[in-house]
Structure 1
Amino acid sequence: MNFTMHSRAKLTGWLFVSLAVILICVFYFYPMIQALLLSFKTGAGANLHFNGISNYKRLFSDKTLLTAVQNTFLYLIVQVPIMIILAMIISVLLNDSKLRFKSFFRTAIFLPCVTSLVAYSVVFKYLFGNDGLVNMLLTKLHLIAQPIQWISDPFWAKITIIIAITWRWTGYNMIFFLSSLQNIDYSIYEAARIDGASAVKQFISITVPMLKPIVLFTSITSTIGTLQLFDEVMNITKGGPGNATLSISQYIYNLSFKYTPDFGYAATVSYSVVAMIVVLSVLQIKLAGDK
């Protein structure tokens, strides 16, 4: 009797999750396997044929891919730490019990990450144009004599992309830090205050160590997001000038739809991104000292 009830319970559970499992297999695992098989093929358009590991050998001699990887890792190295630190500091400020209108500030800072990627990218493109609002303000404040070429200069174009993605995703990461801060026992800070610890000392010695799991989580998710960066580069600079802001994802798009379609090599580049994500995630976990 118990065995029958147990079997029915297991069957009921599998029936509940079966639809989700089928959908995940069809729309997630099946495309992954097909993309892996595609990475071993070559040819223009739909005229593909198996060519072994030639696409993977091509990765190491592709100068455009190297440029895209360098650009993407520059965004990663510069933007992600800035964003994580900003998100942490803002979350601490917004967690202050004495702060008024906390809900308004939290909503305002979180709002950018729910805006349309294309819409905000286009807005940034016009804001940082030669005659855009940013140059106008900097000129009126006498900080610059000539308009900065935010979009057409290789250096400033990268800065524009970094500013754009920082503006969009800082509030998203702030929510994770804020939720974790609210689970820290307030008595710990009271004890530190009684012992004479300043606000900065409390932040360094109490807040940062206790937020370590969230720092690790946001670092990994931000790394994954940056390696998949596409919309901002595509809509603000189009990868220019001269591939100066080209990202890996945009290069994959170009291989698939802009150049002569080479879906096999595009799939190979896509799997190289997967490898980068795995390696960087493992490194971050090891550096964090977590099992």
Structure 2
Amino acid sequence: MKQTAIVRNRLQPRWTGWMFVSVAVLMIFLFYFYPMLQALLLSFKSGTGARIDWTGLDNYKRLASDPVFWTALKNTSLYLIVQVPVMILLAMFISVLLNDSKLRFKGFFRTAIFLPAITSLVAYSVVFKYLFGAEGLVNQALLKLHLIDAPLQWITDPVLAKITIIIAITWRWTGYNMIFYLSALQNIDPSIYEAARIDGASPVRQFFSITTPMLKPIILFTSITSTIGTLQLFDEIMNITKGGPGNATMTISQYIYNLSFKYTPDFGYAATVSYTIVVLIVLLSILQFKAAGDKK
């Protein structure tokens, strides 16, 4: 009897813990994993409306020869390769500047740089669309500075439209990543920098030999979250360029939207395209963990 009571007392805290998290676990399964499983099954079907039939790997064969998909993938990859490194380096640089104890009005600068991250995606996209319009503020400023002779077509030129998108998402998300770096920098013992200064290390040497290695977990975290966000890029494209001109700025997420709601609805093929984002996120996350040397 005593042994039974001891076992019951040992198991009770474990079951009590599971009772507390059971509702959350159930909600996560219902609203995350179950839809993911259904989307995977849907990717093997095709049809419109309620007439959806099992077609096996037909959607995946179609994906391999779909020129619009490969254009969207190329555009998304370009945003990822160019914008994510620029944004992370810029966020690190700004956070180091704002972490200086001698800097005045640090609170104001931190708030001002972080504010874009809490603005409405639609609102700021529309603002950028007008800023970079043919008669927008950007062109007016460049003309007054005599840097250009005629207004640049930021929205309708294929190359300039991509640059506009990169500028927009960099402006919005740099401050968001800056907060993580600031938090990490404030946890670094100042005595480490003091010892480095005594040894004659320059600020540049301190940054590469002390700051960067100690920010490694945050760099990995922001790289992965930024990669995920860029692969799912939608609002800016939809509101600034609508994927144009001629699909020059279309992303995978916008293509999924078009397949589901703009073209003749084909939810099975849209699910197939959406799972390419899942695969890309998993592969790039693994590569980033490997590159960072993180074994956990």
Residue 42 of structure 1 contacts residue 55 of structure 1 at CA under 8 Å; is this kept in 2? yes
Deviation at 1:10, TM superposition (A): 2.3
Q: Displaced runs of 4+ in structure 1, greater than 6 A?
A: none
Match in the other structure for 1:81: 85
The alignment partner of 1:142 has SS state of: coil
Quick check: 1:56 aligned with 2:60?
A: yes
Match in the other structure for 1:14: 18
State which of 173, 178, 192 in structure 1 corresponds to 2:182. Answer: 178
Deviation at 1:5, TM superposition (A): 2.5
Quick check: 1:3 aligned with 2:7?
A: yes
Q: Distance in 2 between matches of 1:237 and 1:102?
A: 36
Deviation at 1:143, TM superposition (A): 1.1
Match in the other structure for 1:152: 156
Q: Report which stretch shifted further, 235-244 or 95-104.
A: 95-104
Give the aligned residue type for 2:287.
L
Quick check: 1:109 aligned with 2:113?
A: yes
TM-score normalised by structure 2 residue count: 0.96
Match in the other structure for 2:287: 283
Q: Report which stretch shifted further, 190-199 or 70-79.
A: 190-199
- Residues 156-178 of structure 1, C-alpha deviations (whole Å, 9 max, x = no match): 00000000000000011111111
Q: Distance in 2 between matches of 1:148 and 1:191?
A: 51
Deviation at 1:67, TM superposition (A): 0.2
Give the aligned residue type for 1:237.
T
Deviation at 1:8, TM superposition (A): 2.7
Give the aligned residue type for 1:274.
V
Match in the other structure for 2:29: 25
State which of 115, 125, 133 in structure 2 corresponds to 1:121. Answer: 125
Residue 45 of structure 1 contacts residue 260 of structure 1 at CA under 8 Å; is this kept in 2? no
Give the aligned residue type for 2:110.
R
State which of 208, 225, 250 in structure 1 corresponds to 2:229. Answer: 225
Identity in percent: 76
Give the aligned CA root-mean-square deviation in angstroms.
Answer: 0.9
Q: Report which stretch shifted further, 274-283 or 238-247.
A: 274-283
Count of aligned positions: 291
Q: Distance in 1 between matches of 2:272 and 2:226?
A: 23
Match in the other structure for 2:251: 247
Match in the other structure for 2:104: 100
Q: Report which stretch shifted further, 251-260 or 3-12.
A: 3-12
Q: Distance in 2 between matches of 1:201 and 1:24?
A: 46
Q: Distance in 2 between matches of 1:39 and 1:18?
A: 30
Quick check: 1:201 aligned with 2:205?
A: yes
- Residues 121-157 of structure 1, C-alpha deviations (whole Å, 9 max, x = no match): 0111011100111111111111111111000000000
Deviation at 1:58, TM superposition (A): 1.2
Quick check: 1:270 aligned with 2:286?
A: no
